Amino acid sequence: MSKNAILTVSGLKKTFATPQGVVRAVDGISFSMGAGATFALVGESGSGKSTAAYTVAGAYRPDEGDILFRGQSIAALRVRPHLLKKEIRMVFQDPGSSLNPRRSVRQILDLPIKLHDDLSRTKRAERVTELIRLVELAANLASRYPHGLSGGQKQRVAIARALATNPSLVILDEPTSSLDVSVQAKIVKLLQELQEKFRPAYLFITHDIVLMRNVASEVGVMYMGKLCEKASTKDFFENTIHPYTRMLMSSIPVISEVEELLIPKQLVPKGEIPSPIDVPPGCSFHSRCPMRMDICTQVDPVMVEIEENHVTRCHLYQGAKGASSSE
């Protein structure tokens, strides 16, 4: 893994005990992201992408595996140090429930600055004004409460709150999936501009694989708690390998003929994600896979490198170049 990686996750596992059995929400995922990069974790609901994000954010402690932040392990910490909380921040899916309804925008934005920076009251007020301007909100909204804002405006406040402490890693958990397309476009554009200005790395959790074409620098696809393909964005979209990823791609309702040429045709989406309690033996995707072989029902494939920086976990490619396990 590269030297200047800001976040390195290796063999991360998180299970939950339920009355019906053990759910392996995240079952050994590994990835690494550089400073100022955008890593997209894509998957259907129930694939474990949000659990992975919450574990990185520190809401859950992993059962196994390691999380390195700037080279230091933070997986085993029971309480994260103050400074770490300043560096890793999060934006949630539903801004309606992640903003305190009884605090005004000004108060919401003031709190992280008060907690993490030693600034005078006037300096803090200046910083709040600056944040509001940065996320392109009208200055007069500062005294409003969340219920008086539209969905897009609320998400802007949530983004401003995350960036208030100048973090080096922001976890975005489906930040635009509750918004209209025209609002989504504006929010994503804003996120990109802010990244250019302040260089935070984004861990982008999403189910929208198309959105990632123009946002992410690297994409990883999750299925039933495991990564099944990971590559740099260009490679990922130009040379999609794993049958699940191709199934995802061929389900995309595209809006132009040019795009239609880009999606794999021969894979018709079928089936549903199985129950996370009894995961199919072998490759967890075999129940839906059109290219299933005998071995798939018995042995779980390992990650292999297909080309530089492009890994996949599928028996079709187990014999590929340098089949050295990277897991």
Which residues form the interface with other proteins (CB under 8 A)? Answer: 44-45, 150, 152, 180-186, 188-189, 192, 207-211, 213-215, 234, 237, 247-248, 250-259, 262-263, 269-270, 272-273
Count of Cβ atoms closer than 10 Å to residue 220 Cβ = 24
* Minimum distance from residue 131 beta carbon to other proteins (Å): 21
* Minimum distance from residue 170 beta carbon to other proteins (Å): 17
Two structure tokens written together for 276: 């996370």
* Minimum distance from residue 10 beta carbon to other proteins (Å): 28
**CA 81 – CA 277 distance, rounded (Å):** 34
Contact predicate 42/207, CB 8 Å: yes
Cβ proximity to other proteins, 1 vs 183, nearer residue: 183
Cβ proximity to other proteins, 74 vs 314, nearer residue: 314
**CA 143 – CA 133 distance, rounded (Å):** 14
Half-sphere exposure of residue 37: CA atoms within 13 angstroms, side-chain side: 19
* Minimum distance from residue 244 beta carbon to other proteins (Å): 9
What are the start-end ranges of the H helices in the chain?
A: 49-57, 82-87, 95-98, 105-116, 121-134, 151-163, 181-198, 209-213, 233-238, 243-250, 257-260
* Minimum distance from residue 56 beta carbon to other proteins (Å): 23
Cβ proximity to other proteins, 62 vs 220, nearer residue: 220
Two structure tokens written together for 47: 């694939």
Cβ proximity to other proteins, 85 vs 292, nearer residue: 292
Cβ proximity to other proteins, 85 vs 186, nearer residue: 186
